[in-house]
Structure 1
Amino acid sequence: MSRFLEYFLIASYIAVLLVISHWIGAQAYSWLPVEATAEAQKVDSLFSFLTAIGAFIILGLVGMMVYSVLFFRAPKNDYSEGHPSRGDIKLEVLWTAAPTLLVLWVAWQGFNIYQQLDILGLQQVVHLHTPLEEPASAASISDIPKPADETIEVFVKQWDWSFRYPNNVTSNELHLPVNRRTRLNMHAKDVLHSFYVPEFRLQQYIVPGRDIDLVVTPTRMGEYKLKDALFSGTYFALMDANVHIESLEEYNQWLTTAEQQPLAIKNQAVAEYTQPPKTLLKTGWYTVAPEPPAIAQSAPPKRLTANERKVMNDDT
C-alpha cells in the first residue's frame, strides 16, 4: 500500500469519525429532560460537546485496535517484540499536547458557563471557615447582583418549600413568568438543603444562615418538579414542590387570585407523620416532627391615608 493511499484512508476514517461523533453529540440533547431555561441551553451545549469528544476518542481507539488486529497480527509462534515508539518526539508531543489543550478548553468553558449562571452568596460561604477576617468593604465582583425583573424569596425547611412573591403572597408552589429574569433569594431554616429542578439544569446548595441568590430565565412554559437533592432525613422523598412556568398575563392573574383567596399550604410530611404506624414493632428511631400546615399569607391590607379616610366618611 502506497504512503499516499495510507494517508488518504486515515484522513477518510477521521472524517467519518467526525461526522458520527457530531451526530452522537446531537443525540445527547434527547438523553436529558427538556430545556426549560436559558441556563439549561448553555449546560446542554457543553454536555453535547463532551459527548461528541468522548465518542470520537472511543471510536478512534476501537477502530485502531480492530485495524491492528486485522492487518498487524503476529504469525503463529512469533514472540518477538514490536517496534518501540518511545523515541518518536512528534508522537509524544501530539498525545501530550492534544489532551492538555482539550482539558484546558473544557475547564474554561465550564467556568464560563458557571459564571453565566449568576449564583450569588457563594463568596460568603467560602469565607465562613476562613480564619482571617476580611474588611466588610472587600466585596467580590461576583457578589454584585445582576439586574432581574423581580425577586422571589425561597424558604426551605424540614419538610417543605415555601415561596414569597413581591406582593407578599406566600405559596407552596413556585410560579415563574416565561422569558423574564427572576432572582430566587434562597434561605434554609434548619439544615443544608439543595434546590434542584432537572429541567433547569441547576442544582444549588442552600446553606443555613446564608442568602444564596440564583437568577433563572425560564423559556418553556409548563409544569415541572422542584426536588431537594440532599438527603435530609425521614421524609426526604416528600421534599418537592410544583414549578409553574407561565405567561406574564397568567402569572399576574395567579398573583391576584392568590392575594384575594389565601389557600392552605399542603404538607405531605405532616399527613404521613400523623398516620398510625403500619408495622407491629416500633423502631423508636428519632425523627423530626413536621410543623402543621400553614395558611398562605396574602398581602396585608392597604393603609388608608387621612384624606382617603375623610373621603370614605363623607361618602357614608
Structure 2
Amino acid sequence: MTPSAPPARRFPIAALVLIAAALAADGAVSLWMARTSHHWLPVQASAAAPYVDDLFALETGIGSFIFLGCFAVMLWTLLFNRAPKYDMEDGDPIEGNLKLEITWTIIPLVIVMLIAIHAIRVSNTLATIGPKERVLGGEQALQVAEGATATGAAPAAADYGPIEVIARQWSWEFVYPDGTRSGELHLPVDRRVRFKLISMDVLHGFYVPAFRLKQDLIPGSVIDYSLVPTREGRYRLRDSMFSGGYFSTNQTDVVVESAGTFERWLADAARAPLQESPNAALQLWQARLAKGDKGWATVPPAPPPLVNVIHDPTAPHEG
C-alpha cells in the first residue's frame, strides 16, 4: 500500500501578520531615513544638488530597508531560535534551496540595476561634462584654453565663460574671459557657467560640496565643464584627489552673487594690480626647510599664482 504524502506545511496566520507588521515597520523607518538624509548634507547651492540629494536619499532608503531587515532576522534568531543551553549537537543537515538562492541573487541584481539606470538618468540630466581635448602638457593646455576664451565660443548666449580653472601643487587660479585672474572663484547666480579645467602637474579634483559636483582635472587634458549656481553665498572648493604632501591645503572659496554684483566685482578686479595669492602649502614647505627638510620626501609647491584678487582664507563660508 502506497504511503500517503505528508500534509503541506502552512504558515500560521499569526506568523504572517508578524512578518507583515515587521515589513511595514521596516518600510516606515527606511522612508524616514531617506527623508532625513537630506539634512546630513550641506546646503543646496546648484541646480545639480536636488537631483544628487534625491538619488542619495533613494540609496539611503533602500540600504536602510535591507540593513534593518537583516538585523531584525538575526536578532529574532538570537532571541527565539537559538539552541538550548548545553546543547552540543550539530544542526540539521539542511541542503541548499535552489529557488531561494535564485531569488536572493535576482533581487539584489534588479535593485542594483535600477539604481544604476536612475543614476545614469540623473547624470544625463545634469549634463555637466563637455568634450575633452588632449594636450602635451600644462603650457599647451593653457594655450588651448586661452584660444577658446579669445574666440568666445559659448554654446548658448545665456551662458557665461569659459572660465579657466587652473590647478597646481597646491593652489587654484581662475582666469575669466576678460583676462582677470583671481585666487577665489566668483560666479553669477542662476546662470550656467562654463569652465576649462586644467591641471599643470598631477591629478586634482574640482569639488564643491554645496554644489554636489566633482570633476577630476587630468594632466594632459583640457576638460569642458559647466554648472548652474542657484544660491548666493560663499562655499568651499576642495581638492578631492590626493595630489601630494600638502593637498589638504589646496582649498579656496566659491562666491556666488547676483549678476549686478558679479559684474561690479569683475570690473573692480580688472583694475586691481597682480599680486601673489596666499599659499598655505608654501608656508608649510618653508617651515619644513627651516627644520632641515626632514621626514617623508615631497615635492616643493609651485610658485603662488599672480592674481588680481587674492583668496581670503579667513572669510567664513558655508559647506
TM-score category of the 2 structures, normalised to the smaller one:
0.7 to 0.9
Question: Per-residue deviation at 1:186?
Answer: 0.9
Question: Per-residue deviation at 1:225?
Answer: 1.7
- Equivalent position of 2:238 in the other structure: 227
Q: 1: distance between equivalents of 2:307 and 2:83?
A: 79
Question: Per-residue deviation at 1:272?
Answer: 5.0
Equivalence map 1:63-212=2 (5 Å): 63-76=72-85, 77=87, 79=89, 81-82=91-92, 84=94, 86-87=96-97, 89=99, 91-117=100-126, 118-121=128-131, 147=156, 149-151=159-161, 152-212=163-223
- Equivalent position of 2:49 in the other structure: 40
Q: Which amino acid aligns with 1:109?
A: H
- Equivalent position of 1:218 in the other structure: 229
Q: 1: distance between equivalents of 2:47 and 2:82?
A: 52
Tell me if structure 1 keeps the 8 A contact 2:204–2:240: yes
Pair 1:6 & 2:18 matched: no
Question: Per-residue deviation at 1:215?
Answer: 1.1
* Distance of aligned partners of 1:256 and 1:6 in 2 relative to their CA distance in 1, 3 Å threshold: same
* Distance of aligned partners of 1:257 and 1:234 in 2 relative to their CA distance in 1, 3 Å threshold: same
Q: 1: distance between equivalents of 2:265 and 2:308?
A: 13
Q: 2: distance between equivalents of 1:69 and 1:258?
A: 68
> Bigger shift: 281-290 or 235-244?
281-290
RMSD: 3.0
Q: Which amino acid aligns with 2:65?
A: F
Q: Which ranges of structure 1 fall in alignment gaps of 5 or more residues?
A: 126-144, 298-316
Question: Per-residue deviation at 1:60?
Answer: 0.8
- Equivalent position of 1:287 in the other structure: 299
Tell me if structure 1 keeps the 8 A contact 2:288–2:294: no
Question: Per-residue deviation at 1:9?
Answer: 2.0
* Distance of aligned partners of 1:78 and 1:235 in 2 relative to their CA distance in 1, 3 Å threshold: closer
Pair 1:266 & 2:277 matched: yes
Tell me, what secondary structure is at the counterpart of 1:245?
A: strand
Q: Which amino acid aligns with 1:215?
A: S
Q: 2: distance between equivalents of 1:169 and 1:88?
A: 67
Aligned residues: 276
Q: Please, which of 247, 250, 265 is the counterpart of residue 236 of structure 1? A: 247
* Distance of aligned partners of 1:262 and 1:64 in 2 relative to their CA distance in 1, 3 Å threshold: same
Greater than 6 Å deviation, 4+ residue runs? none
Q: 2: distance between equivalents of 1:96 and 1:211?
A: 42
Q: 2: distance between equivalents of 1:54 and 1:66?
A: 18
- Equivalent position of 2:140 in the other structure: none
Give the TM-score normalised by structure 1: 0.76
Give the TM-score normalised by structure 2: 0.75
Cα shift readout 1:99-158 (whole Å, capped 9, x = no counterpart): 110011112122223333421245869xxxxxxxxxxxxxxxxxxx96461121211223
Pair 1:30 & 2:39 matched: yes
